[in-house]
Structure 1
Amino acid sequence: MTADVAREVGRLIESLDGKEWSLPTPCSKWDVHAVVDHLLDVQRRFRVTMTGGDKPTTSAFQDNTAVLVAAFEQEDAPARTVTTRLGHMPGRTALDILTMEHLIHGWDLGRATGRVPSFTDSVAERIIAFCEFMNPRLPPHLRNLKDPQPVAEDAPGVDRLAALSGRTVSV
């Protein structure tokens, strides 16, 4: 995941107040608390993927982010083969999966709480291209994107990514 995306999602999480944790999100099965728990679990699993250490049972979002950013910034990280629950893949693919998770669920958190996350279009565009390339190549049981939804062509990149993942975006 890129450091700026992780920092923005961290900012959203840190800004949550008590009543917002139970708000519904565009991720239909999860409220805000469940989305944050999911992101923490994803970060913890990728810590194992990228560092070879044990999966922390508890760790803060910002701590996970620091470990992951450092791991992905290592010179060999993009080309190194890593093992995930999806199988063996280049580190670059793992980075794109983690970035996708943070962008989409950061968007979910923003929509649920009325905050507008600040994600750069270039990162969102890269992840859109990644999703469009990877999703049809995955076995059906591993495809986690729902049917794409309509979105304006000139919408921000993260909105188009959300629509690609099956979220309803105002058109």
Structure 2
Amino acid sequence: MPLDDLVHAQAATSRLLAALEPDGWHRPTPCPGWSVADVVRHLTVGDRAFTVSLAGRPYDLPALTAELAPAAVGHLPAAYDAGAARLREALAAADPAAVFPTGIGPMPSGHVAELRTIEALAHGWDVAQGTGADLAVDEDVAERAIAHSLALMERLPPDRTPFAPPQPVADDAPALDRLVALLGRSVVSD
């Protein structure tokens, strides 16, 4: 199921990127100081980094970031799609009993899939907020991402805090809103 959820989350984000107007790439997002293009580059670099990890090698994040930095915004949807597909292929081929090096400690492939699902959903939401669009995701996928986020937060080393403090959100809010609030985003109700 983690791989199915990742496929769903990445497809939802991909649909947003495919529909993005040229002026949308430079709009701000809820990530301080990051434009829509910056968020998409971050997602793409992350997928590439974890693909390297799943090959059993540590990744060079500055080098991966530098490779993608000059990409024109018009090429970012294709770069995201290609990186997402390579990550899914690496996950499908990974030994589920093996543990792989990551920037937040060793992880089995199932946890990598869960983490990348969380990233695709949270940053897809960021892109949606920056562009005034909606990220259409299944409630069950977002609910599982909440559960995985809570478990991930328990596994993080004390010196690693990749998320901002949780923000208030209504208990009956959509699961995606509850997920991003858990990860530190302010959700404005209509």
Query: Normalization by structure 2: what TM-score?
Result: 0.81
Matches within 5 A, 1:15-94: 15-52=19-56, 57-58=67-68, 60-74=79-93, 77-94=95-112
Partner of 1:127: 145
Unaligned runs of 5+ in 2: 69-77
Amino acid at match of 2:81: Q
Contact 2:16 2:135 in 1 (8 A): yes
Tell me how far 1:136 sits from its aligned partner.
Answer: 3.6
Amino acid at match of 2:89: A
Tell me how far 1:38 sits from its aligned partner.
Answer: 0.5
2: CA distance between counterparts of 1:142 and 1:134?
Answer: 11
Q: Deviations over 1:61-112 (max 9, x none)?
A: 11112112222233x5443211112221111111111111111000000111
SS at match of 2:181: helix
Matches within 5 A, 1:5-20: 5-20=9-24
Residue identity over aligned pairs, in percent, reads 37
Amino acid at match of 1:126: R
C-alpha spacing 1:29/1:140, structure 2 compared with 1 (3 Å): farther
Please identify, of 103-112 and 121-130, the stretch whose mean Cα deviation from structure 2 is larger: 121-130
Amino acid at match of 1:128: I
2: CA distance between counterparts of 1:122 and 1:35?
Answer: 24
C-alpha spacing 1:29/1:150, structure 2 compared with 1 (3 Å): same
1: CA distance between counterparts of 2:181 and 2:104?
Answer: 24
Tell me how far 1:60 sits from its aligned partner.
Answer: 1.2
Unaligned runs of 5+ in 1: none
Alignment size in residue pairs = 170
Q: Deviations over 1:16-39 (max 9, x none)?
A: 222111111111231111101101
Contact 2:48 2:87 in 1 (8 A): no
Relative contact order higher in (CA < 8 Å, ≥ 6 apart): 2
Please identify, of 21-30 and 100-109, the stretch whose mean Cα deviation from structure 2 is larger: 21-30
